Structure 1
Amino acid sequence: MRLWTVHPRYLDAKGLVATWREALLAQKVLAAVTCGYRHHPQLIRFRAHPAPIQAIGAFLADLAKEAARRGYNFDINKILEHGAMDQGATEQIEETEGQLLYEWAHLRAKLHRRTPDLHRQFRSIIIPEPHPLFRIVPGSIREWEKVKSPAPGSHPLERRSRG
């Protein structure tokens, strides 16, 4: 499960669809509709939000907006908190710059393999725009992240002391 901190505009078609499905699963977990994935580390930041269902709803709403921009039709009726679809109605989640940059390197490696044209398009972007749900603050990669060694063409980030 990967609930990307980066803006959905950077995801290729496969990544956008996979993130939509994974976020729908996360919504079910947060709503206690399913027992699987209850302890998945990607859910930590949503559980810490004052309104977790609204937060995942806002996350899903922005994925659906990006999908619609591309001509896809994601079923927004699957979003449990429709109030979350109003821009700015949900309190943002603080996420660290280190986490954003780690995910950017991870995504760029995926794009390099799956969609080289998209990878080339984003080649000059050093710091990507975050998903609108996230407010970026100083800090390193989150403790819950399962860090993999950097892939060719990615930014080699070190795990620094957490602050």
Structure 2
Amino acid sequence: MRLWSLHPKYLDKLGLLGLWREALLAQKVLLGKTKGYRNHPQLIRFKKTEDPILYIGTYLYYVYLEGKRRGYNFNKDKIIKYDLNLKMPVTIGQINFEFQHLLEKLKVRDKEKYEEIKDEKTIEPNPIFYIIDGDIEEWEKDKKVLNKKKK
């Protein structure tokens, strides 16, 4: 499960469709309606909020908007609740890590999308997030990240 901190506009078709599915699964996990993924590190930041369902729903809504912009038929009714006034922090280190991680995926999976975004200078987060100073988030468990921290 990867709940990208990046704006969903950077994702290729497979990435966006996968994000929609995974964020819906995250909502289900946070609702307590599944046994798996309950302790998944990608959920930590949502669990720390005063209303995890509202925050994951708001996150999902922005994914829905990107899907709609691209002509996909994401079902907005699957989002339990959302509030477009909500914001949560994400570190610049996390944004930079995720963007590099995405570029590596796109080199293999979608060269056209890779070429489209590879020279971006200012990386936007999913609109629920605002960027703060800091390294890669503590909850990030990707092995590549752990290796980077050791250097």
TM-score range, shorter chain: over 0.9
> Does 2:3 align with 1:6?
no
CA distance, structure 1, for counterparts of residue 100 and residue 34 of structure 2: 31
Equivalent position amino acid for 2:18 in 1: A
Which string of whole-angstrom CA distances, capped at 9 and with x for unpartnered residues, describes residues 91-131 of structure 1? x1111111111111100111111110110111211341000
- State the secondary structure of the residue aligned to 2:131: strand
1:134 pairs with 120, 129, 138, which one?
A: 129
Deviation at 1:158, TM superposition (A): 3.7
Equivalent position amino acid for 1:159 in 2: K
Would you say the 8 A contact 1:6–1:130 is kept in 2? yes
Identity %: 46
Q: Bigger relative contact order, structure 1 or 2, given CA contacts below 8 A and separation 6+? A: 2
What is the TM-score of this pair, normalised by structure 2? 0.93
Q: Which has the higher helix share?
A: 2
> Does 2:41 align with 1:41?
yes
Aligned to 2:113: 118
Deviation at 1:148, TM superposition (A): 3.6
Deviation at 1:59, TM superposition (A): 0.8
Which string of whole-angstrom CA distances, capped at 9 and with x for unpartnered residues, describes residues 46-80 of structure 1? 00111110100011111110001001010111111
Equivalent position amino acid for 2:84 in 1: Q
Aligned to 1:145: 140
Deviation at 1:22, TM superposition (A): 0.5
- State the secondary structure of the residue aligned to 1:159: helix
Number of residue pairs the alignment of both structures matches: 149
Instruction: Please show how residues 1-163 of structure 1 align to structure 2 within 5 Å.
Output: 1-81=1-81, 84=82, 86-88=83-85, 90=86, 92-149=87-144, 158-159=148-149
Would you say the 8 A contact 2:84–2:128 is kept in 1? no
Instruction: Flag structure 1 segments of 5+ consecutive residues without an equivalent.
Output: 151-156
Runs of 4+ in 1 over 6 A off after TM superposition: none
- State the secondary structure of the residue aligned to 1:17: helix
Would you say the 8 A contact 2:68–2:74 is kept in 1? yes
